[in-house]
């Protein structure tokens, strides 16, 4: 299917306004989304040239009210689970993970990942300082899979009882998805427990603390470092004055629209964020003034990686836990995303430079130079 920029602008507007997921909302939330969708966002008023409008709009954060409602809904679900699980004898606490707390989500109606942490059980790295000092309990015969399976069963029961009018989807391997009914936004509840890493045992900072989740379909326990990812991406974004988050959102929107049009970009959102984390900081920083320079650097970075896949395969995710491109499918996704952003960069450059408009496909280096020098008010 060809790229239709006017259709992409409409898809972007629909996605940001939450119009693409109305069926997952209750009646009041649907009304609120419909009403708000009638008011144009600032990016829609900035320029009249369609590819430029799309590129700039795809970089922007979702309206703060949408994000606030998503977080408040997740916190509400957490309070209900806290009460029910405590009554059932569990000791729990809750945290948010994923694209919403990092503020790189691209949908007005985003699923929020709510970690449901069982605090009565944890694992730890035996090489850490606290372990060496004997600060942990004696070993237990319980396993992460046993503990999290029990927690998940009880959480599923409580959610069904507390929210009878909602849809509680328990088919997912890692999360219980709940939407509709009295909830203003969908929430993914992720049963989990803490894992104390060597760095956490040494420094006591929560961003260094690992989380173990359950994939019930195997079943198996999986470890990750969601808060270290959020911290490191957030710090790098601050260093480039919000341009990293804009680059991530741009790439995620391009992926979403390409997939809608039948061109598969098989690269998970987490890995898109990890990929852009390695972009050139000076180039991103200039995007604070010359915003289209963010598009130029995203294109350059992805093009370089797609042409140098051996180097790309050495890059790690921000928390350092694994390689980004650890499968052939992800390399294919990288190449597909690079092609999408090449096309966008060329078309935006043609809109901004009358000489380049005479080319069907202007050179990418020339297109980047134009994009990096244009100020769009």
Helix (H) or strand (E) holding 106: none
Write down the pLDDT at residue 326. 97
Residues 159, 168: contact at Cβ < 8 Å? yes
The b/e string for 72-88 (b: 16+ C-beta within 10 A; e otherwise) is ebbeebbeebbebbeee
> Which token pair is 19?
């119009």
Residues 274, 281: contact at Cβ < 8 Å? no
Give me the domains of the chain, ranges plus CATH numbers.
Answer: 67-224 (3.30.460.10), 230-373 (no CATH)
Residues 209, 250: contact at Cβ < 8 Å? no
How far is 180 from 186, CA to CA, in rounded Å? 7
Find the DSSP H helices in 38-98.
50-59, 64-87
How far is 47 from 52, CA to CA, in rounded Å? 7
Helix (H) or strand (E) holding 195: strand 187-196
> Which token pair is 86?
């405590």
Residues 288, 334: contact at Cβ < 8 Å? no
How far is 262 from 83, CA to CA, in rounded Å? 45
- Tell me which residue of 270, 300, 17, 72 sits closest to 183, measured CA to CA: 72
Look-up of token digits 């929430």: 187
How far is 243 from 152, CA to CA, in rounded Å? 38
How far is 322 from 183, CA to CA, in rounded Å? 36
Q: Per-residue confidence of the chain (377 residues) as pLDDT tens digits?
A: 568 999 999 999 999 999 999 999 999 999 999 999 999 999 999 888 999 999 999 999 999 999 999 999 999 999 999 999 999 999 999 999 999 999 999 999 999 999 999 999 999 999 999 999 999 987 788 999 999 999 999 999 999 999 999 999 999 999 999 999 999 999 999 999 999 999 999 999 999 999 999 999 999 999 999 999 999 999 999 999 999 999 999 999 999 999 999 999 999 999 999 999 999 999 999 999 999 999 999 999 999 999 999 999 999 999 999 999 999 999 999 999 999 999 999 999 999 999 999 999 999 999 999 999 999 99
At 312, give phi and psi (nearest 5°).
Answer: -55, -35
Half-sphere exposure of 101 (CA within 13 A, CB side): 17
Residues 6+ apart with CB under 8 A from 360: none
- Tell me which residue of 248, 117, 257, 259 sits closest to 195, measured CA to CA: 117
Q: 316: which DSSP letter? A: B
> Which token pair is 217?
């379909």
Q: 204: which DSSP letter? A: -
Half-sphere exposure of 54 (CA within 13 A, CB side): 26
Write down the pLDDT at residue 56. 98
Interior CA angle at 78 toward 189 and 196, to 5°?
Answer: 70
Going from the C-alpha of 23 to that of each of 29, 31, 155, 261, the distances in angstroms are 10, 12, 24, 22
How far is 177 from 48, CA to CA, in rounded Å? 40
């Amino acid at each position: 299917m060809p790229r239709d920029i006017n259709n992409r602008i409409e898809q972007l507007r629909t996605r940001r306004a939450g119009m693409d997921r109305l069926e997952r909302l209750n009646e009041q939330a649907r009304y609120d989304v419909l009403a708000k969708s009638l008011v144009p966002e600032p990016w829609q008023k900035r320029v009249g040239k369609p590819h430029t409008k799309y590129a700039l709009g795809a970089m922007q954060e979702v309206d703060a009210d949408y994000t606030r409602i998503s977080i408040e809904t997740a916190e509400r679900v957490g309070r209900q689970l806290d009460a029910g699980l405590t009554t059932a004898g569990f000791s729990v606490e809750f945290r948010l993970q994923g694209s919403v707390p990092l503020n790189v989500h691209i949908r007005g109606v985003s699923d929020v990942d709510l970690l449901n942490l069982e605090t009565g059980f944890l694992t730890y790295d035996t090489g850490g300082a606290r372990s060496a000092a004997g600060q942990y309990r004696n070993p237990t015969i319980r396993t992460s899979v046993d503990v999290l399976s029990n927690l998940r069963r009880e959480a599923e029961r409580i959610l069904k009882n507390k929210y009878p009018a909602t849809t509680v989807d328990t088919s997912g391997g890692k999360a219980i998805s709940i939407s509709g009914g009295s909830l203003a936004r969908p929430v993914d509840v992720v049963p989990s427990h803490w894992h104390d890493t060597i760095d956490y045992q040494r420094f006591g900072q929560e961003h260094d603390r690992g989380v173990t989740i359950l994939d019930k379909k195997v079943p198996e326990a999986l470890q990750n470092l969601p808060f270290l990812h959020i911290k490191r991406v957030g710090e790098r974004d601050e260093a480039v004055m919000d341009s990293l988050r804009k680059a991530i959102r741009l790439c995620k929107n391009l992926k979403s629209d390409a997939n809608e049009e039948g061109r598969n970009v098989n690269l998970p959102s987490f890995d898109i964020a990890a990929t852009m984390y390695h972009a050139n900081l000076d180039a991103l920083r200039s995007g604070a003034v010359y915003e289209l320079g963010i598009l130029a650097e995203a294109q350059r970075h992805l093009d370089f990686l797609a042409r140098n896949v051996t180097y790309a395969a050495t890059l790690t995710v921000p928390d350092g836990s694994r390689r980004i491109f650890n499968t052939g499918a992800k390399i294919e996704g990288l190449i597909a995303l690079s092609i999408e952003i090449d096309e966008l960069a060329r078309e935006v450059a043609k809109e901004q430079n009358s000489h380049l408009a005479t080319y069907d496909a202007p050179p990418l280096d020339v297109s980047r130079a134009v994009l990096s020098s244009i100020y769009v008010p």
